[in-house]
A and B are shown apart, each in its own frame.
Chain A
Amino acid sequence: MDISKKQTAILQKFAPYIERFDARSFVWIFLLSLVILVGLYALIQQIVEGHVVTGMRDNVVWGLYIVNFIFFIGISYGGAILAGMLHLFKVPWRRPIMRIAVLTAFISALIGPIFIILCIGRFDRLHYLLIHARLQSPIFWDVVAISTYLIGAILFMYLLMIKDFAIYRDSDVLNLPPWRRNLYRALSLNYQGTESQNKQLAISKNLIALIMIPMVVVVSSVLSWIFGMTLRPGWHSTIFGPYFVLAAIYSGAAVIVIMMWIFRRAYKLKDYLTDKHFAYMGYILLSLGAGYGYFTFSEYLTSWFGSERWDSEVMEKLFNPAEYGWWFLISNIFSIIIPIVVVAFKKLRTPNLISLAALLLVFGMWVKRYLIVVPTLETPLLPIQDTRPEYIHYSATWVEWALSFAGLATFILFFIVMAKLVTIVTVSDYTEKER
């Protein structure tokens, strides 16, 4: 198929990054693999000894694993819905961002559900979820939601890559080993750029982008209902559906900004990911942050003002500096105030500061998920009246931390590998007519 001069130029620019692994990548891969290996060792401990090696006990039955699950799956939902909107609305500055967005969605969708499996006492019986499925359980809804979503996310990513696969296949600029060419040949599904192929592909891409948007709203709501459906203070809230949807998009957008910053630096992409792109993503962060701040305020104001006994007990823990007060404050400063301030003032609106704000935001959102899961479980309706400290307060063990960091390392590792397989900007989007 025809590859324009502009596209050839982009391919030349990216050739060193996708042709081979350089020394730096190897160092990263080695270090990340070490982290993952430690996680695997922790996993073996958990399998052999049982869940007693975690910090979870009869009151706090869910811990870091569920926190990480919401965190990663939220990032994925965010990446997918943003990519869907950018594509559907034909946002002119989307070209260098789309690939990063769909990769973020795809990779975190693979990692999130792993943490559910880690949290389950009998993952040897995981298939019971299908063969003994019960329609009325929100967990079954989530199984359906996540598996449907995963298929959608993979299709979305793939459809946006087909043209690029054809370009890699046919380009003589890239010096690729035969197996790579064959791989791209297979993946490009004989795309030749004919008119009918273009039309079909365009319709498919629009359709899947259109589907992804309501799908993300549904699946993140389903996730929130796992908490919202229980009779627990801090969880039993009607706002949880939209709150989770917005929080997911927000953290997904922030991770996209962080990945943009990393690749701009590592691949020297200043001409592609310009300051403007960061500013535009910053505006998205600002509006989402304002919405997220509004939801947060609304949720805690009503609980605090109504001051029902159980709500008050959880509130008390979130406001008390001796319990979760500092974390609650840090979470809200990092994920609401700092991003808004950084983007609102022109002087602060630089790629570096926006990315730093995004990093703090993502951390703040992780803390927020922890504050959703743990304090509520530490506040059952009946007094705990136990003398074993681990039954009163949750404190994650090294096993849970090791597996959490292994999850993060897997995310980065997958990104490095995917960035070798495909260019980090969508080459085929850079056509002559669309500037």
Chain B
Amino acid sequence: MSELSENGRRDFLKKGALGVSLAAWGQLIFSCSSGEGGEAAAEASDTVKLLTPDGELVEVDKKHLKHIHKVEKISQQEARAGIPGKKFVMVIDLARCNNARKCISACQAMHHLPSEKEWVTVKLMKDSKDGAPYWFPKTCFHCDNPPCVKVCPVNATYKRQDGLVLIDSERCIGCKFCMTACPYSTRTFNWGEELDIPADTETHPHNPETSVPSRPGTVEKCDFCPDMVRMGKLPDCVTACPNGVFYFGDQNEDVVTNGSETVRFSQLIKDRSGYRYMEDLGTEPRVWYLPPRDRIFPVERGYESLPDEVKERYKNVGLDG
């Protein structure tokens, strides 16, 4: 038994290493990650440098970059059961977030989402009038007592043994009951806007693990990228974050990593007083937060360089002073 879990850990660490290399790749794409002037830089350079498998550095036009959904073929049963022996968990370090919004754009690229649809969002929170504002990245919490799963009338959204809450868009009838049941406004609906259906998935049935392709009139949300995890990689939001805000890992093995740093989950929660958002709701989230103590950025850093229309969202919190 212990030998088995030992093997499992080694396996995970290996995969973690893969994640690190992927993170490096992510840094390449999003080389313009530091807050100020980031936007201008993104507009100026339409090319990115990529490392080919032969070790050659090439420059590619950004427009030609496309995610390829090359996943291990998994059956409906596997997609419903989950990855055996795993218990996925995420830790979000609020002390590191400066609203760089790379998690959002990476997630959108990964899942072919229109620019206004955000499965990962960054809220500007201020818990009370005199409290300190802080940036609050929010994924799906993949609750262990998920209110959304309880209310689904057709078993379209379900809880897996590895802790993930996924949606089968071929099953969803679009009643939106899960959206009213979720207390965290996690879920989005395809209201009928133009959907970006990638050509390589056009003929494939919808896969709950990739959440691609989108189906009109159904509910969608953050899925913790189980397709990436199956390949031993980290979810895209984790690797895209320039500040290492997101730690992802397996609670059974008690390991989480943000791509550059791999730590014990329980120790991290203990040392940094990790907590779960709105614990009192009893939903048992699988996402933990580390309080924004000893922040590495002033909160204004994530606001000043934003385009005006994004700034507008956070107006109510009043960072302008």
Question: Shortest Cβ distance from A42 into chain B, in angstroms?
Answer: 14
A119 contacts B by Cβ under 8 Å: yes
A230 x B218 contact (CB < 8 A): no
B71 contacts A by Cβ under 8 Å: no
A121 x B218 contact (CB < 8 A): yes
B298 contacts A by Cβ under 8 Å: no
| Given known A382-B138, A385-B313, contact A51–B191 (CB-CB < 8 A) | yes
A140 contacts B by Cβ under 8 Å: yes
Which residues on the B side are within 8 Å of A129 (C-beta)?
153-154, 173
Q: Report the contact-size class of chain A (Cβ under 8 Å from the partner).
A: 35 or more
B176 x A383 contact (CB < 8 A): no
B216 x A383 contact (CB < 8 A): no
A301 contacts B by Cβ under 8 Å: no
| Given known A61-B189, A121-B189, contact A137–B124 (CB-CB < 8 A) | no
B192 x A53 contact (CB < 8 A): yes
Interface string of B144-185 (1 = CB under 8 A from A): 000100111111100000000000000111111101110111
B188 contacts A by Cβ under 8 Å: yes
B176 x A62 contact (CB < 8 A): yes
Which residues on the A side are within 8 Å of B181 (C-beta)?
229-231
B57 contacts A by Cβ under 8 Å: no
A137 x B123 contact (CB < 8 A): no
B151 closest partner in A (C-beta): A137
Question: Shortest Cβ distance from B172 into chain A, in angstroms?
Answer: 7
Cα–Cα distance between A368 and B281 once the two chains are bound (Å): 27
Question: Shortest Cβ distance from A192 into chain B, in angstroms?
Answer: 47
Give A121-177 interface residues, CB cut-off 8 Å to B.
121-123, 125-126, 128-129, 132-134, 136-140, 143
Main secondary structure of the interface of A (DSSP, over half): loop
Cα–Cα distance between A136 and B310 once the two chains are bound (Å): 40
B61 contacts A by Cβ under 8 Å: no
Which residues on the B side are within 8 Å of A120 (C-beta)?
173-175
Which residues on the A side are within 8 Å of B281 (C-beta)?
231
| Given known A50-B216, A230-B180, A232-B183, contact A385–B314 (CB-CB < 8 A) | yes
| Given known A51-B217, A121-B217, contact A128–B191 (CB-CB < 8 A) | no
B262 contacts A by Cβ under 8 Å: no
Which residues on the B side are within 8 Å of A125 (C-beta)?
154, 171-174
A53 closest partner in B (C-beta): B192
B279 contacts A by Cβ under 8 Å: no
| Given known A121-B217, A137-B177, A385-B313, contact A132–B151 (CB-CB < 8 A) | no
Interface string of A375-390 (1 = CB under 8 A from B): 0010011111111100
Cα–Cα distance between A119 and B180 once the two chains are bound (Å): 14
B121 closest partner in A (C-beta): A385
Which residues on the B side are within 8 Å of A122 (C-beta)?
172-174, 215, 217-218
A231 x B217 contact (CB < 8 A): no
B189 x A128 contact (CB < 8 A): no
A323 contacts B by Cβ under 8 Å: no
B193 contacts A by Cβ under 8 Å: yes
Cα–Cα distance between A26 and B188 once the two chains are bound (Å): 47
B152 x A134 contact (CB < 8 A): yes
Q: Residue among A57, A121, A128 with the most chain B CB within 10 A?
A: A121
B203 contacts A by Cβ under 8 Å: no
Cα–Cα distance between A231 and B278 once the two chains are bound (Å): 12
B43 contacts A by Cβ under 8 Å: no
Cα–Cα distance between A139 and B150 once the two chains are bound (Å): 11
B309 contacts A by Cβ under 8 Å: yes
A229 x B217 contact (CB < 8 A): no
**List of 7 A-B pairs having minimum Cβ-Cβ separation, nearest first:** A50-B192, A121-B174, A121-B217, A52-B192, A139-B153, A61-B176, A137-B153
A–B Cβ pairs within 8 angstroms, 24 of them: A50-B190, A51-B217, A120-B174, A121-B175, A122-B215, A122-B218, A123-B173, A125-B172, A129-B153, A129-B154, A133-B154, A134-B155, A137-B151, A137-B153, A226-B177, A230-B147, A231-B181, A231-B283, A380-B185, A382-B185, A383-B123, A383-B125, A385-B121, A385-B123
